[in-house]
A and B are shown apart, each in its own frame.
Chain A
Amino acid sequence: MDKIKTEHLYFYYGKKQALWDINIAIPERQITALIGPSGCGKSTFLRCLNRMNDTIPHTRAEGKVYLDGEDIYSPNTNVVELRRRVGMVFQRPNPFPASVFDNVAFGPRVLGLLYGRSELADVVEASLRSAGLWDEVKDDLRQDALCLSLGQQQRLCIARVIAVKPEVILMDEPCSALDPIATLKIEDLMRALSKEYTIVIVTHNMQQAARASDFTAFMLSDAQRTGQLIEFGPTAEVFTRPQDKRTEDYITGRFG
């Protein structure tokens, strides 16, 4: 079952073309990794999936992006609702300068999800549990989120996304600022979350893509076309017998 599907997706920053004819079907409740060298359009593509690029002026998307079969670029789309359904975790943990509790409660409060006080506490606890952080913070939910370690902050950001009950979680290099242990915790967490959520992750770390994802998409730019999707398939296949020579060259480090 495909959760997200793109058809002939092109993207432009002003006149600069950044994605070229991306056609991909991202399976539901699986982890899809986007890999490729810097500047290949991975992050741009990721940000198309919840229209995060809309916030950048003079940008333009062409083509279709379907979420459960509905075109998210249609004028009828409620973008706030879209970003609730398709949440995002960034490269550097970005908790608000507020308590752990308020960070997680932020989304439900802002979206006006109707929670009573105890209901909100339940959502915060459940989200922190899902993010694998509950045991580490339960004794002091009032502590400042910025006092947590980076790895904990990143899991807090994941809890914050989960709190608004999304369907898809986009992760843009979520481990690049983390040490190997914190990285493994995030990867284990991704695995657990993928039972419930569709996860799309951009990573520069090929080993991470290989060990932590179900599907892998390889993107590349060439002189004419920035941001092409070269190959997409089950991770085990892509890393043991890639179909395209360019994928092979990239993952074996013979690139360029």
Chain B
Amino acid sequence: MRRAFDEDLEALQNQMLELGSMVAEALARSVDALKRQDMEASRQVIRNDPKINEKRFAIEADCLRLIATQQPMARDLRSIAAVLEIITDLERCADYAAGIAKITLMIGKEPFIKPLIDIPRMLEKDLSMLDRALKAFVDRDVEAARRIAAEDDDVDALYDQVNNELITFMLRDPRTIQQATRLLWVAHNLERFADRVTNICERVVFTVTGEMREMNIQEPEVEPQ
């Protein structure tokens, strides 16, 4: 016999996936608008952000309702707790998309100091990681979650590359500094996005195993004095 509660949990998960799609779309549109320097499309991303926030609050309310009325235990409890965490990460991911849109508005129509190559790559990587991380949650696939979290290193590497390149531009020609720092901020948002996806992967592991462990911790490159 199927429990009504199982249906509630599945519905909750579907809501979360829907939020994930909204976030992925926001990020894709924000970077696309940047590439095309499309101000209206950027404004659209910003205008859409409150809808994502509302969706997040609606899911949060559902989580609280289920906790209050069903008194979930063990795996059920962990899975609801994980959804609460994941929707927070997703909502912040959407903020990165809105952030990129705002930067696009700042850059305006001035010609790019360089063609955008690594930034679209970061976008592709982010979207792929997000999509697969949410799938890993649905599938309760710990191994997949671990592999996806490890891919955060690739995004970090791309960020370093963008960073180095833009610094070279700035050193060579100080007139590029304004736009270069803005593009750097775009790259930073994309890099943070992948970190949030790593958090989602941690929640997959937590939901399945009950272990709370930080994934993909990097050794600090600079030893603290």
**Taking beta carbons and an 8 Å cutoff, which residues of A are in contact with B?**
206-207, 210, 239-242, 247-248, 251-254
Contact = CB atoms under 8 A, between A and B. Distances in A.
Contacts of A210: 73
Given A240-B78, A241-B78, A252 B210 contact: no
Contacts of A248: 74-75
Main secondary structure of the interface of A (DSSP, over half): helix
Interface in B1-27: 3, 5
Interface string B65-84: 00000011111111000000
Contacts of A253: 3, 5
B73 A206 contact: yes
6 contacts: A239-B73, A239-B74, A241-B209, A247-B74, A251-B74, A252-B72
Interface in B56-97: 71-78
Given A240-B73, A248-B74, A252-B76, 6 more contacts: A240-B210, A241-B74, A241-B78, A241-B209, A241-B210, A251-B74
Of B5, B72, B73, B209, the most chain A CB neighbours within 10 A belong to B73
A241 B209 CA distance: 8
A142 to B, nearest CB: 43
Contacts of B209: 241
B213 to A, nearest CB: 13
Contacts of B72: 252
Contact of A240 (B3, B71, B77): B77
Contacts of A254: 3
Contacts of B71: 207
A17 to B, nearest CB: 29
A206 B77 CA distance: 14
A210 B78 CA distance: 15
Contacts of A247: 74
A206 B74 CA distance: 12
Nearest to A242: B74
Nearest to B212: A241
10 smallest CB-CB distances across A and B, nearest first, come from A241-B210, A251-B73, A248-B74, A252-B76, A239-B73, A252-B74, A252-B73, A242-B74, A251-B74, A207-B71
Contacts of B5: 253
A242 B72 CA distance: 13
Contacts of B74: 239-242, 247-248, 251-252
Contacts of B75: 248, 252
Nearest to A211: B71
Nearest to A238: B74
Contacts of B76: 252
Contacts of B3: 253-254
A254 B78 CA distance: 16
A252 B80 CA distance: 13
Contacts of A240: 73-74, 77-78, 210
A251 B5 CA distance: 13
A239 B72 CA distance: 9
A248 B73 CA distance: 8
A132 to B, nearest CB: 26
A242 B77 CA distance: 12
A255 to B, nearest CB: 11
A162 to B, nearest CB: 31
Nearest to A210: B73
A204 B181 CA distance: 63
A242 to B, nearest CB: 5
A253 to B, nearest CB: 7
A251 B72 CA distance: 9
Contacts of B210: 240-241
